[in-house]
Structure 1
Amino acid sequence: MSATATTPPAGRRHRTPLARREARWAYVFLAPWIVGFLAFQAGPMVASAWLSLTEYDVINPPRYAGLDNYRQLMTDPAVARSLGNTVYYTVLHVPLAMVLSLGLALLLHRVGRWQGFFRTVFYLPVMTPAVAVGILFLLLLNTQDGLINRGLAGLGIEGLSWTTDPAWVMPGIILMSLWSLGSTVIIYLAALQNVPRDLYEAAAIDGAGAWARFRHVTLPMISGAIFFTLVVNTIASLQMFTEVYTMYFGNRQTQGSFSSEAATFYVIHLFQEAFQFLHMGFASAMAWLLFVIILLITLVQVRLGNRFVHYEGDET
């Protein structure tokens, strides 16, 4: 009898009792995550997709409306304005945050034995609750007696209306968002520490100066970390909510004292439609529009990132 006659097909090979037992235990340990995903992510996503096709106010049963909510999205000026604010914030905040984080990481990389202390100091603001950050910067940016305007007055500079002038609301929000750069700084620092020293030595022997070494050695070797933070920070910026809502919409002192249009981000407008006006169907359509926008932007970033990101296994 030939050997091929007794060998089972590749796709139907008999698994050992140990392999079957390991597989069962794997499913047991994965079960909490699977149940949580189906109950708290996949299930609500399917429900919101259905609600986006209805008119639903929580009180009355949903009424099928077809694509009316999506048609309204295309013509609603409030949606366009809030989406414009969000994109404007993202375009300014993400590059600025990445450049500052890389600069701080380069400084930390040269600190030496104090690196652990400063690494902790830079990361501590990340642990601050978002609501506390909003309240803190409401006090710092207060037009009348905020600490920032007091500092400017001490330098002979007239204070700015950070929380009341629509022209300065967005710069104030961007300034606030730079408070929590710590996580990006730590990612860049870890990437810098993994750059082989012999590459710098080889570049120095070839006569490369500091800028040439940074451009041709440092940036390519940490491009993976840069790409990761670009994607993550873009997604987070497009979903900006808690800090801004705390500062401008959740505080009685600021309600009515500024042009709310200047600080209305897309997710804030979504929240208002859902929980203030009870337009759950329309809010669900807004959520799916944001999902599609984030998905498309991320796909473009991944497509472009494959051209510029250097990975350790790539051939040079």
Structure 2
Amino acid sequence: MNFGLRPLGGEKLWVLLLLGPTLLGLVLGAFGSIFATLGLSFFRWDLLTTPEWVGFDNYLGLAGDRMFLRSLSNTLIFSLLYVPLTIVCAMAVALLLNRRIHGVGLFRTLYFLPVISSPTAVGLLWTWIFAQDHGVLNAMLGGIGIPPVRWLGPNMALYSVVVVNVWGAIGEGMIIFLAGLQAIPREQYEAAHIDGANAIQRLFYVTLPAMAPSLFFQAVLSTIHAFQAFDYIYILTRVGNGNSSVPTLVFSIYRNGFRFFRMGDATAQAIVLTAIIFLFTLVYFRIQRRWEVPA
């Protein structure tokens, strides 16, 4: 008895039939959400009444929205600090853990733990560390005679949340950089060593050029994470009435959409955020093409 599938259309037909529902769901879920968000940005809607067409008013109103402009400024400053610090710290950890040392697997696991930990639990833990009166950090500073610091106060909150977000992202970058480091042929290091290159020269003339694809990939990921940062920032800097002392673009979207139910304003800001991330990504890829090491 022949149970072959080819008379019914071959393997391609069966692959299409089996994967079709999933692919259809992904296409509708992804592109459907994008078009729905784009369309909603041209309406005024509070989730209860009938949507009202306002054209580009939601976008034009962003220029005079102080909260949006402040959130945009905070997000740009946060990104300028977060992206290079994440890349440098993750690269440093990867270089250290790429060596043959005892217990290296345990250290890699420990550095990766923040990536899979609950942001809420981690944020509350850092709130305790940064507390002004009974915080761990100020207690350590008090032991050496330094007065308490308002780590989450108006002047320090932005830098404090940068530290927490960088700490939480090192593990992800470490994995990416470890994969790149272990793909570099040992012959390149041996040739550089024979030519008299020291450790610093091998880093800048062998390791970093060979790591260019991993570096740019991590730069893109870090930029996306920076512009989408929300959980740690909201937990650490939340103040009365559900506001934040360091509002970011994602917080502004959340505030407009789910506190004030201005869905049109929220979706317009989401589209602007998407456009900014897209532009930064294009810039990264243009730079990568110029820096790419020929095979």
TM norm structure 2: 0.92
Give CA deviations for 1:149-206 in whole Å, capped at 9, x if unaligned: 111111222221012x211001110111122211111211121112111111111111
- The match for 1:130 among 95, 110, 119 is 119
Indicate which of 86, 105, 116 corresponds to 1:97. Answer: 86
The answer as to whether partners of 1:98 and 1:184 remain within 8 angstroms in 2 is yes
| Alpha-carbon distance in structure 2 between the residues aligned to 1:248 and 1:261 | 5
Check if 1:167 corresponds to 2:152.
Answer: no
Q: How many residues align?
A: 290
CA RMSD of aligned residues (A): 2.0
Q: How does 1:45-60 map to 2 (within 5 A)?
A: 45-60=34-49
Give the distance between the partners of 2:18 and 2:144, measured in 1 at CA.
61
| SS of the residue 1:118 aligns to | helix
For 2:247, give the aligned amino acid.
T
The structure 1 segments of at least 4 consecutive aligned residues displaced by more than 6 Å after TM superposition are: none
| Pick aligned residue for 1:309 from 283, 289, 292 | 292
Q: 2:182 aligns with which of 176, 186, 193?
A: 193
Q: Is the 8 A contact 2:161 2:236 kept in 1?
A: no
Paired residue type of 1:289: V
Spell out, residue by residue over 1:30-86, the C-alpha distance to the aligned partner (whole angstroms, 9 max, x if none): 334323324432222211111110110111010100110010012212111101101
The code of the aligned residue for 1:198 comes to: E
| Residue from 272, 291, 294 that aligns with 2:277 | 294
CA separation in 2, counterparts of 1:18 and 1:292?
48
- Aligned-partner residue type, residue 233 of structure 2: V
The CA distance in 2 between the partners of 1:118 and 1:19, in whole Å, is 54
Following superposition, the deviation at residue 138 of structure 1 comes to 0.9
Q: Distance in 2 between matches of 1:240 and 1:274?
A: 17
Equivalent AA in structure 2 for residue 23 of structure 1: K
Q: Once the 2 structures are TM-superposed, how far is the Cα of residue 132 of structure 1 from its aligned partner?
A: 1.4
What aligned pairs does 1:79-90 form with structure 2 within 5 A after superposition?
79-90=68-79
Aligned to 2:203: 214
> Does structure 2 conserve the Cα–Cα contact (< 8 Å) formed by 1:85 and 1:265?
yes
Q: 1:306 deviation in Å?
A: 1.1
Conserved 8 A contact 1:108-1:115: yes
Q: Note the residue ranges of structure 1 that are not aligned, 5 or more in a row.
A: 1-15
Percent identity, please.
34
Aligned counterpart, 1:107: 96
Secondary structure of 2:164 counterpart: helix
3-state secondary structure, aligned to 2:133? coil
**CA 1:217–1:268 in structure 2 vs 1: closer, same or farther (change >3 Å)?**
same
2:45 is the alignment partner of 1:43: no
Q: Is the 8 A contact 2:129 2:136 kept in 1?
A: yes
